[in-house]
Chains A and B, each alone.
Chain A
Amino acid sequence: MPLKDSYAGVDSAWYVSPALMPLIIGAAMILLAVYIIVYGFQHGGVEAIKTMLAERKGKKFLSDANIRYAAVLVPLISLVYLNLTRIDFFLAIVLFLVYIITVFHIDDLRIMRKLTFLYTAEMMFFLLLVISGLDTLITKLYAYSNDIIALVYIATIIIVFWRNIRAAGNDLYKKRFSQAMWMTWMTPVILVPIFRYLLRVPLPFEGIVVNAMSLVYYAIKQ
């Protein structure tokens, strides 16, 4: 709606328009942005851009820093946009934590690189299932199909981690791996009952594990 128009049968003056505030904000932001650009150019901005581009030239796309960044973002984004509404909440959390805690707690770039590729591949495969609509088809055949896929993913990640840790032959890694596993499984074991049964929050997707938990909970309650 422009500044002066009618909406829902009511004629509006410029000062009542819903566009007034966005226009003020937009104008202020443009002016400030121009100021910052000018300020940047006056205070070595061009040189900084040149240095940044020169630094980027030698860098690989899959550099260690980028892999570390991807190792945080890939599981976070896939959990929210892909898994949370399709996979059992308990398993979705385990799938997220089993990768992210272990990979950063062990903090070996070689292992991180391998596991990040594996995790991304797993998520890409699941994304393909979702895009093609196959995930709904297989859940019609068996309600917990997506949860089974998640379980396979979790098992694969644990096995690949364990094989890599054994190959590294580092006792500290073994210790950290067991700490990570402990944290991975204990978190949903504590959080799911708190939110589901204490705070009575219906979880985004309740599948194989949460339904089993509910069966046990209501059986005990009765």
Chain B
Amino acid sequence: MNIGQQFGVFFASLFGILANPVQLIILFGSVLLGIVFGALPGLTATLGVALLTTLTYGLPLQTAMVALLGIYVGAVYGGSYGSIMINIPGTAAAAATALDGYKMALRGEAGRALGLTTTSSAIGTTFGMFFVVIFTPLIAALALQFTSFEFFLLAFFGIMISGSISCPDTVQKGWISGFLGLFLAMVGRDSLQVYPRYTFGITDLESGIEIVPVLIGAFGIPQIIQVLKDRTITAEPTKLDRVLPSFREIGRNIKHIIRSALIGVGIGAVPGIGEDIAAWVSYGTAKKTSKHPEKFGTGFDEGIIAPETANNSCIGGAMIPLLSMGIPGSPPAAMLLGAFLLHGIAPGPMLEVEHPGFTLKVSAILLLASFAMWIIGILLAKQVVKLLRVPATLFMPVVAVLCLIGSYALGLKVFNLYLMIPMGILTYYLTNMGYPIPPLVIGVILGGMADANLRRGLMVSQGSLAPFFTRPVALILLIVIVLTFVTNTSMYQHFIVKFKKNKGEK
């Protein structure tokens, strides 16, 4: 497609949705639902996308995409409501927003704070959308040159990098989590020789572990157990009069917005790293580079704009590896991948060949979702805030039912539920022991790809490992993986400390 045709597809998708009342209603409805999901502590963007995946399964592809991207965008933004109004972040991505947002609300500026988050989130999403349009075809074109060796290393790279960054404890825990995911992906008949692995004679396991029930189990069940088990206190929201769009303040902070959006897109593009890390990195960078770092944490505009722009631009960032290589950039993007697969779309380098214009359609939906989010944020914030009074004990069991029926409805298999519960309990304990879940999910998703490509590559090379070193991209990926591994070993860290100490003495 030339650039003129691309513009044509983009605007045709844009106006197609605008001219279709059903899709427009679904867009606004799903964004609003997303905001509610994001605002209510305990519910997350991933869970929202997971539950909507089952409800939109029977819908046409574009309508389902509108709903899923709408809820994703809305939920990432919606997290700021809890942060600002009750000092309890609705989602992990909005935790950094609470530092300054709640202080502003206590000063009686909740409306202004929500105005800042609404506008900066909308700008962030739009910014991310531009990056999807620009970078997805470039990376996909590059990925088309990949052979089996590169795809195998890419899967490993995804697990290593996601394990390294998302782990709150030692990085090795993140890697174990990733390998556990890879192991789960090995269950079932292998794709090359159709040999049954770890099926124990159970016929339901022969087709392998289905991704969506595993994802619902991994993200939904631990959340339900945690919220119900721990006593949650429902806080009374601070007073909210009117949400102001605050264009003047946004204009004054445009430099911070652009920087935060770039951080968000960059972090989003790294496999398995979610919006929460983007928000914290952006907040930290804003504080470091600010002329008034002492004002951070006291209800400062920059302290709200930085995380909120970054977490929403991260959505676009997370879509880039998802669409171009089939590797999700964040947990909700992993859920989206499951939804794509259910609708017969296999993201990756061949996506634009098999479904021309798909990336542009996704971009158009993202743009419309950011507008819908802005409009709803300005007009309905007061009503959404009222929902913060609903205790989690009332809606969390209902979410559990939705998780169950959702997992079942996708394949009409009760066996999916039998897998979902142990998966949920396993991830609950893993989380409690400091093992991050995103690498596990990335492992489950990429396991099949890693396995098939390694063996296919070795078949072509007749068992020779030389292509790992002779192919430039494979070599670069291998070096990055080795460096990620080496720099995270205690031996290397001791060496660096010693080296710095010696340098200081000299």
Contact = CB atoms under 8 A, between A and B. Distances in A.
A39 interface: yes
Interface string B385-428: 00000010111111011101100110010100110110001000
Contact-size category for B = 35 or more
Contacts of A107: 231, 393
A155 B141 CA distance: 63
A42 to B, nearest CB: 9
A130 B193 CA distance: 40
Contact of A16 (B173, B412, B458): B458
Interface in B158-188: 170, 172-173, 175-176, 179-180, 182-183, 186
A68 B229 contact: yes
A25 B58 CA distance: 37
22 contacts: A8-B193, A13-B463, A15-B458, A15-B463, A20-B458, A22-B198, A25-B179, A25-B183, A32-B179, A39-B172, A73-B425, A80-B420, A85-B414, A96-B400, A97-B397, A101-B397, A104-B397, A183-B395, A187-B398, A195-B409, A200-B58, A201-B405
Nearest to B55: A199
Contact of A21 (B173, B176, B394, B455): B455
A35 interface: yes
Main secondary structure of the interface of B (DSSP, over half): helix
A39 B170 CA distance: 9
Nearest to A105: B393
Interface string B131-142: 000000000000
B463 A14 contact: yes
Contact-size category for A = 35 or more
B195 A204 contact: no
B228 A100 contact: yes
A39 B176 CA distance: 14
Nearest to B173: A36
Contacts of B455: 15-17, 20-21
B384 interface: no
B197 interface: yes
A53 to B, nearest CB: 17
A45 to B, nearest CB: 12
Interface in A24-40: 25-26, 28-29, 32-33, 35-36, 39
A76 B183 contact: no
A80 B421 contact: yes
Given A80-B404, A104-B397, A72 B170 contact: no
A69 B229 contact: yes
Interface of B: 55, 57-58, 170, 172-173, 175-176, 179-180, 182-183, 186, 190, 192-195, 197-198, 221, 224-225, 228-229, 231, 391, 393-398, 400-402, 404-405, 408-409, 412, 414, 417-418, 420-421, 425, 447, 450-451, 454-455, 458-459, 463, 490
Contacts of A85: 414
Given A13-B463, A73-B225, A204-B414, A29 B405 contact: no
Contacts of B425: 73
Contacts of B224: 72, 76
A28 B179 CA distance: 8
B228 A104 contact: yes
A17 B195 CA distance: 9
Interface in A160-203: 179-180, 183, 187, 191, 194-195, 199-202
A12 B194 CA distance: 13
A218 interface: no
A93 interface: yes
Given A72-B225, A80-B421, A29 B58 contact: no
B398 A204 contact: no
B454 A20 contact: yes
Contacts of A26: 183
Contacts of A104: 228, 393, 396-397
A1 interface: yes
A176 to B, nearest CB: 9
A199 B57 contact: yes
B177 to A, nearest CB: 10
A91 interface: no
A97 B401 contact: yes
B95 to A, nearest CB: 24
Given A32-B175, A201-B412, A195 B405 contact: yes
A29 B180 contact: yes
Contacts of A194: 55
Contact of B170 (A18, A20, A36): A36
Given A29-B180, A35-B172, A68-B229, A100 B397 contact: yes
